[in-house]
Every structure is written in structure tokens, then in C-alpha cells.
Structure 1
């Protein structure tokens, strides 16, 4: 089984794992290219390839056109040799995804996070859905490489504990052991990381550019930013990616970047201006305790180009751009990915953020930064969490 092979740490398997990892990242590839790139003897590579093919971990995808003699074989991984589970455990919506060794989605399940989604209820649901996905696709436990979870920090990664996150709708999300909550998978590898960090892993694997630095920003209830450089996540001790949002934007009142772009701020500011300009509120507090309903109302008003809502959103975008420019000036990323429901719902918001940021990036002409929106057709955080599981076997 692939899982057993990847768990090996002896010198005997080190070279084979190196060859497998190279094929995974560069498929399809010839034996000659492997020899050249990883500086291993041709006879050793040939022996490793023979073993990997015989075990069903890799396969010959096709043959290159021959210039004379036997055509060179092109090797690629066997996608169904193993599987991983990735979980995006977020404040508003969570996703469980089953992926194969190519990180291609086999199946997934998404659910909204509501007032009833307390930690025991949510973790039980995640556990049941993982079991159902494995059963549905006839995947035995020894083919499951592990479960990666991207969530909201701060975290205790080693113990698998979500410490004190903000803004979950349900109560109780404090000092929660995810591993204890998934007790039926106690024999499996379970890794916990901030969702913004694993999102950068997915973006990196997709581009496969070794020296690229990526900044991945997720905004909504707050602001989380993940950073990846040279294929490695830049981690702080607590797994709290929200610290970027605490950049001070307004000195006199010590207002942070997150406080100018969060959904809470947008709703409050729209309500305040409605009262000032129209003498009636955008929403009534006694009727508006459910933020999802309020944001649905907000998005509808935005879509209909309510002038007050538009004004607040675009002002917030300018501030967001300034804050992101500060982060870019420190980290010098090659690529910046922006993700939020608001960005996808109202494209001018994204455009204003980027335009604002570019005004304050001091190296923009010399070393351009490439901005992109998150691809909504891909479960970025959950697939990134699965990538984290895969990478852990080579550390």
C-alpha cells in the first residue's frame, strides 16, 4: 500500500520516495530527466522505477517519440493508489473533500455553519461524512493517507486544538480538540493548520513554481492571510493568520485593518449612514441577530446598487488596498490571491482594492505583483489541507 511505503523512513526507501515525489510534482517525466534533476545514478533510478511500477504507485503514461531505438517511457503517478481527506472548517461554511493522489476531487460535502453547529455537533457531522465518503467509494482505511483540516486560528498544531477563534456563529468554540472529536480516526494522521495557510499550499502546488512567494488573503468576518515562500508555509507559533488584519490603519483610535473591512463593520456603517441620511435604519437590531440573513440583505442591496451600500463598500476597498500594500511592501510576494464572498459578488470591490494597493506598493514598476481572485470552482482550503497531508510524508 502507498501509505505504508510513504511511512518508511529508512535509507533504503529514501531514494524511492524522492523519485516518487519528483514524478508527482513533474509528471509525466522520463527516467533521463529524473536522473538529471535529482542527481541519482541511472541504475538506481531504474531500480526505483521498477519497484514503484510493480507496486502500482506509478505507471507509464505514454512513450515519447523515438529518434531511433526504444522510445523513452513517460512516468506519472497512479492517482488511485491512495486518497486523502481535506476539511475546510470555517465560520460560515465548511467543506469535506475526498481527493486522490493527483489532488483531484473524488467527492465532497458542504454544509452551512449555523447556531446549532457547536463543536460536538460539527465534529460528529464531519466524522460521519468522512466515513460515508470512504464507504461510498469503497476506500479501505489503509488507503487513506490522512485527514488535513484548515480552520480558524489561533491553534495548537501539535495537540490539534482550536484555541480561541472569533466569530463562530454557534457557541463553545474555545479550546476544542479536533483529534478527540474525530475519535474513530485516532489511528489516522490528522493535521491541523490555519485555513489561509493551507490555501497557499494549494495555490503553490497548482503553479509548481519553486521560488514563488504567495500571499493569500481571506476576508469576511475578519481578515486571515497565509504566506508561502519556497514551498513552505511561514508559520507563527499559534497558527493565527488573523494577525495581518491587526495592522493599525488609524492611529488616533488604534483602528486595525480588519476593523475597516469586516462584515460587522460594513453592516454597522451602512446602518449608521441610513439613520443619518434617511432617518431610518438599514436593518433593525432586534430583528437582525442572524448575520447571514443580514449579509444576504446587504448583498441584495449591493446588487441593486444602493448608493449608501456602494459608498461604504468602495471606501472599505480603498482601506483594504492600503493595508494589503503594507503587507506586500514587507513580504514582497510574487502573487496575491484575494478571497471573500464580497469579492465574487461585486467585482468593482476587488478592482478598487487592487487599484488602491497598487498606488502604495513602492516596488510595483520594478517587480510587478500579480493579483488574482480565488477560483470559486475549486475547494481551495480543503484541497490545500489534503496537500498538507501529502507533504508531511516527505518532511
Structure 2
């Protein structure tokens, strides 16, 4: 059993290791100001990290009058982690080294045949292929992080009852234990919005951003918030609750659940499809004649094709949704006052005008504007953010 002193030492050791990873290449002098440690204690910690193979020497830094200091960096080949995104449109599996360099990405469509059983079987097969491709064995893998559509029971590793999956069976799925049984690799679970924010924060780690928000607008709406560099968790796990923000009293309801006048009724793939189908039945838009299909079969793919052709009707459909999105974002801004807001999802990437319109509306309705102006971004990692952040989650939890 570890004593309190051993636990404290292990915590400091892990913090120093992650500090080195965060900075890239550092000397002992770079590390000391951040810790209440003597020079000799820091030497011992660095020697232990070197002896464990977690870090490596990286030459010498410039002299400040005496010996040139030894530089240290992460040993990126110490081990590897997988990051897995489970979403409704597409899922992604990524393999990363210890410096979070992506070695491979695999992305596939989630269709009506991708039940949990088929999904786990497919993931296990892809993992075997990636290990073989990179000449790795399971013993080199630290773990697999999973960023999934919620709601979830993170502690138990269970996907609870998400909506709108094309395939059946995605309720009360013990995804971590299923993945572990199929692969022999330990798994961790969190919401995809949270892991996307973890990934994007890592990609921007040298910019000193501590307060961030991530908002995803796709088949549904999801969000995550970070304060002082840490994900903020509520008493219940409801990443999709941003979609239930009421922006129009007595407004429409998306389906048979949720709030009337909620943001998701205006800003989601389903909301756009529902509006286009309703318009078509009223003789507006001409999509039924153009594509020779009934109103009920007008889908998002059709709308994207028309958006790319600058259809006046479809462009207005998307821009109206973007304006509502901007109102929702302004409410988030006024509540949390983040430094940076990262926007993701198929609506955000559908057309540059969607992003521009939404952010312009959000800025104009932000309290303290123009003194306080948050930065809006589509992110650095974009479609790879969820899987990357999921891998980072495992890396950060790795015992050192």
C-alpha cells in the first residue's frame, strides 16, 4: 500500500511528465519555477523518468555562464494510445504515440447495420490491422479512450439512451467492457463534446487559453465547457442540454420530446430536413420536382447539394438556422464568458456563410461587446478532435 508521501511524489512525477509533454523540450531550469522542489529533488525525478523510459534527453540548451543544461523531451515511443469516436454519422479510430502524434486514422459511416455488436467487432478488427501495420503488440498499448454521443454513465463505461442512431440497440450499451473483451485493451469513456474540447485545448496549448467552450451542431446539438484548463462536469451527464435552450417562447418542438422553442428545433440536421419537407408540401423550394422525390424523402444530402449550387431557397434555410445558432451562442457567451469558442459539426462546416453568420450574430449580442470579444474558431483538429481528445484522456490518466 502506498503511503501519503509516495502518492504525493507520484502526483508530482506525473505532473512533471505532463509539463514536459506540454512544453515540448525543456531544461531543469525551465521546470523548477513551477514547483516547490529543490534542484536535487528535481534531478531525482528526472532521473526516474529517464530510467522508466518515459522521457529522453534531447541535447543541450544554451549556456547562461556555466555548463550547458541538458534538455528533456517526451519519449514518444514509450507506448501508444487509441482514440475512438462514436457518433451518429461517422465514427473514427485513431492511433497516437506518447507525444500525441497521430500514426493512423480510420473513419467509417454509421449506417443501419452498425449495431453495437457489429461496431465492436469492426473496431476490434481495425485495431488488429493497425497494430500489424505499425509492428506493435497489445503490450505497447496504454489504453483506448472513447468519446461517444451521450447521455452516458462515464464511471461505469455505459452509453445510456442516445437518440437518432441509424442502427438499433444503442441503449444501455456497456461499451467499455465490450471493447475490452474484444481487444484486451483497457478503455475509458467520456462524452464526445468533452473529448473534442480536450483535443482542441491540447492543440492550442501554447496560446495560454484556460476558458473554452465547444459547441457541436449536427444531427443534434452538444456542448462542453472548460474552466482553468479543466472540463466542467455537472451533477448529471447531459452534453446535449444546450439543444434544449429555449430561444422562442411557444416555438416549435423538434420531435415528440424536448422543449418547445428549443434551439435544436432551429439548429440541427433534423430541423433543416423537417423545415424543407414542410415547405415542399406547401409548394415552396421546388426540391421535389428537381430531384423527383416525395417531400418525406428530402434529406440533408440533398440540401447540401443545393447549398453548394447557391440555391437561394436552401441558402436562406441554412442562414436562418445560422442566425438562431448565433442567438444560442450569445446566451452561452453571456453565461460563461469564455476566451475561445470552438464550433464543430456538419452545420458549421456546411458553408463558410453559416459560420460567419452565426458568429456575427453571437458577437453582436454578447454582453460587454466590444470590450469583451471571444475568439470563434472551427478548431485546429476539426473532425479528428473527438478521437484525439479521447486518446489524450487516457494519456493524462496513465500512471507514471
TM-score by length of 1: 0.91
Structure 1 CA distance for aligned equivalents of residues 56 and 32 of structure 2:
17
Once residues 78 and 171 of structure 2 are traced to their aligned partners in structure 1, the CA distance between those partners, rounded to angstroms, is 37
* 1:86-106 superposed Cα distances (whole Å, 9 cap, x missing partner): 001100000000001111101
Given that 2:50 and 2:56 are in contact with CA atoms closer than 8 Å, whether structure 1 keeps it comes out as yes
Q: Which residue of structure 1 aligns with residue 331 of structure 2?
A: 326
| Structure 1 residues 206 and 119: CA distance shift in structure 2, 3 A | same
* CA spacing shift, 1:69–1:376, aligned 2, 3 Å: closer
Moved more, 201-210 or 351-360: 201-210
Distance 1:241 1:278 in 2: 35
Contact 1:163-1:174 within 8 A present in 2 as well: yes
**Cα distance change, pair 41–260 in 1 and its aligned pair in 2 (3 A):** same
Cα separation, partners in 2 of 1:163 and 1:142, compared to 1, 3 Å: same
Instruction: Give the match for residue 359 of structure 1.
Output: 364
Structure 2 CA distance for aligned equivalents of residues 240 and 85 of structure 1 = 25
Corresponding position of 1:5: none
Matched with 1:4 is none
Q: Which range moved further: 312-321 or 46-55?
A: 46-55
Instruction: Determine if contact 2:209/2:339 at 8 Å carries over to the other structure.
Output: no
1:1-395 aligned at under 5 Å gives the runs: 10-11=7-8, 13-184=10-181, 188-208=185-205, 212-253=210-251, 254-278=260-284, 282=288, 284-285=293-294, 288=297, 294-375=299-380, 379-393=384-398
Deviation (angstroms), 1:311:
1.1
Deviation at 1:123, TM superposition (A): 1.4
Query: Counterparts of 1:345 and 1:330 in 2: how far apart (Å)?
Result: 27
User: What displacement does 1:297 show?
Assistant: 1.5
Q: Is the 8 A contact 2:120 2:182 kept in 1?
A: no
What CA deviation, in whole Å up to 9, does each residue of 1:232-263 have, x standing for no partner?
A: 11123443210011001111232100110111
**Displacement of 1:130 after TM fit?**
1.8
Matched position secondary structure for 2:338: coil
Q: 1:122-179, CA deviations, whole angstroms, 9 ceiling, x for partnerless residues?
A: 1111122123222322323332221110011000111111111011111111111102
Tell me how far 1:46 sits from its aligned partner: 1.1
Partner of 2:254: none
**TM-aligned CA distance change 1:69 to 1:280, over 3 Å:** closer
Q: Take 1:355 and 1:198, find their aligned partners in 2: how far apart are those partners?
A: 27
CA distance in 1, matches of 2:202, 2:182: 27
Distance in 2, Cα, partners of 1:318 & 1:205 = 30
Q: Distance in 2 between matches of 1:217 and 1:286?
A: 30
Note the residue ranges of structure 2 that are not aligned, 5 or more in a row.
252-259
Asked whether the equivalents of residues 193 and 224 of structure 2 are also in contact (C-alpha less than 8 Å), the reply is: yes
CA distance in 2, matches of 1:296, 1:376: 24
Q: Is the 8 A contact 2:213 2:342 kept in 1?
A: yes
- Structure 1: gaps spanning 5 or more residues: 1-7
C-alpha distance in structure 2 between counterparts of 1:121 and 1:106, whole Å = 25
Tell me if the contact between 1:210 and 1:230 (Cα under 8 Å) persists in the aligned partners: no
Equivalent residues, number: 384
Tell me the distance in 2 between the aligned counterparts of 1:268 and 1:67.
67
Q: TM-score normalized by structure 2? A: 0.89
Q: Given the superposition, is the C-alpha separation of residues 132 and 72 from structure 1 closer, same or farther in structure 2, using an over 3 Å criterion? A: same
